[in-house]
Structure 1
Amino acid sequence: MADEILALYCSQVLGQIKPANLFTISNEAYDVDYLIKIWNEDFNKIDIYFTLISKRKNTSSILCFRKANLLESINSKQTKIYLTSCGYQTNNLDTCIKCLQKKLLANNFPHEIGLFLGYPYEDVMGFIENNGKNYLCSGYFKVYKNKQEKLKLFEMYNKVRTEYKAMVDKNIELKNILVKKN
């Protein structure tokens, strides 16, 4: 069951297409703390990490990320400038993630989270500037520029998810595949 969750929600990170994914699972259906512990034991050695971003009564949100890729992403020029203006210290990933956690707990959703998740800068800014309206299309995120390019990106996201799901359906443990690839 744990590999099914990873294939569904983390395949783009596992496949090195995105720096991070955020997903929510049921606290009633899963022992979230145990899952995070096991996943970190299995995947930290290949630079994939899981951290609890927020825990509510019924659900928990988990950030899956590759440290090196996420650090590179949040420190790209435009992203770094914007995140710094929002109060993040992008040079320290742990501090940056803690700041994101605090913002999420404050019940004022930080839309800059898209920058952590590897969404294109222009689309995150378009979302913020347009209050989530006036988008060209919607998929994994709302698109404000370069629609055709983003539709191809969505196809790539879907393809990698399908590939990882097929591995799980064949009872192939993802940790074994990823250790061999890295």
Structure 2
Amino acid sequence: MGQSQLLSDHVFHTGANAGKDVPAKEPSSRRTVWRDIATRFIEPRECLASFLALESAEVVAGIKPANLFPIPNRTYACGRNPYQLWKKWGKTVVATTPLEAYELTDRGDSVLLLLYRPDALANLLEKPAVRAILARAGYASGVALPQVLDRFARCLAAGAFPHEIGIFLGYPLKDVVGFMGLARIPFTCQGPWKIYGEPQASLCLAETFRCCRSRMAADLSKGASPSVCLTGSSSSNRLPFSSLTENNIQDHRQLRSLRIV
């Protein structure tokens, strides 16, 4: 999955091959961005925490294992530069959370950050379907998480993009496999990522991701502590189910039928 798909706005556009029963879906309001809430938080660590909490809302809620996003090196109207905040306070802020961070690239004008739950990524690596896809992508058998992350970074440094990263961003495995060309699954429609095969489950998952971000934005807009939000202690931002687990079960059945696993 190309970086443009990974970082696109959560707006769904129905493709030419989409079924008539899957209409285009638009968010009910404009997607909240960090500059909308940054002025609420004067203390620099809280300001950075608000940026990270918003960009990793689905991970904080336990719905995604990881999120990938850029931290731009530019000063916003509020006077804050998120890149500088990250470089000064990033390790301190993340250390107080159950999350871990990995800088995939730092080109000076921005950092491309993977913010993730280490237990969730480790669990993904144990799944037969994931191991099968990684093997098809050239990974060694039994590869560990540090080696996977290092390979992502090397790939990006070489000017390429590791499309298999979609697995670790919680995208349906059928969509990752379809995009990588590992199975003949027809392209169905364009969401925050390219969707292949039956679209409904993927669109529902994308809507769940959108709702997580909207809830986090609402909490922060109301003045909730960003550092508390980032730890996942905000009950209003937690959802009572795990779409990721259910989605992986469905994916495994589909991939087995396609002889991927």
TM-score after normalising by structure 1: 0.86
Q: 2:104 is paired with a residue of what secondary structure?
A: strand
- One-letter code aligned to 2:50: E
Cα distance per residue 1:132-162 (max 9 Å; x no partner): xx63222221100221111111111111101
Check if 1:77 corresponds to 2:131.
Answer: no
User: Over residues 97-123 of structure 1, what are the superposed CA-to-partner deviations in whole Å (9 max), with x where a residue is unaligned?
Assistant: 111111111112111111121111110
Partner in structure 1 of residue 217 of structure 2? 165
Partner of 2:24: none
1:169 and 1:23 map into 2 onto residues whose CA distance is 21
Q: Supply the AA of the counterpart residue of 2:196.
A: Y
1:16 match: secondary structure: coil
For the 8 Å contact 1:3–1:168, the answer to whether it is kept is: no
Aligned residues: percent identity? 29
Q: Is the 8 A contact 2:61 2:232 kept in 1?
A: no
Residue 90 of structure 2 is aligned to residue 36 of structure 1: yes
Q: How many residues align?
A: 176
Structure 1: give runs of 5+ residues left out of the alignment: none
Which consecutive unaligned segments of at least 5 residues does structure 2 have?
Answer: 1-46, 75-80, 236-261
Root-mean-square deviation over aligned CA pairs: 2.2
Q: How far off its partner does 1:87 sit?
A: 4.0
Match of 2:14 in 1: none
Instruction: Select the residue among 4, 16, 19 that pairs with 2:65.
Output: 19
**Is the 2:121–2:168 contact (alpha carbons within 8 Å) kept by the matching residues of 1?**
yes
Partner of 1:145: 197
Query: Bigger radius of gyration, 1 or 2?
Result: 2
Give the structure with the larger strand fraction: 1
Is the contact between residue 74 and residue 116 of structure 1 (CA under 8 Å) also seen in structure 2?
A: no
Distance 2:187 2:50 in 1: 32
Quote the Cα distance in structure 1 between the aligned partners of 2:188 and 2:54.
25
**Rounded Cα–Cα distance in structure 1 between residues aligned with 2:122 and 2:162:** 18
From 163, 171, 180, the counterpart of 1:111: 163
Give the TM-score normalised by the residue count of structure 2: 0.61
The SS at the match of 1:136 is: strand
How far 1:128 sits from its partner (Å)?
1.4
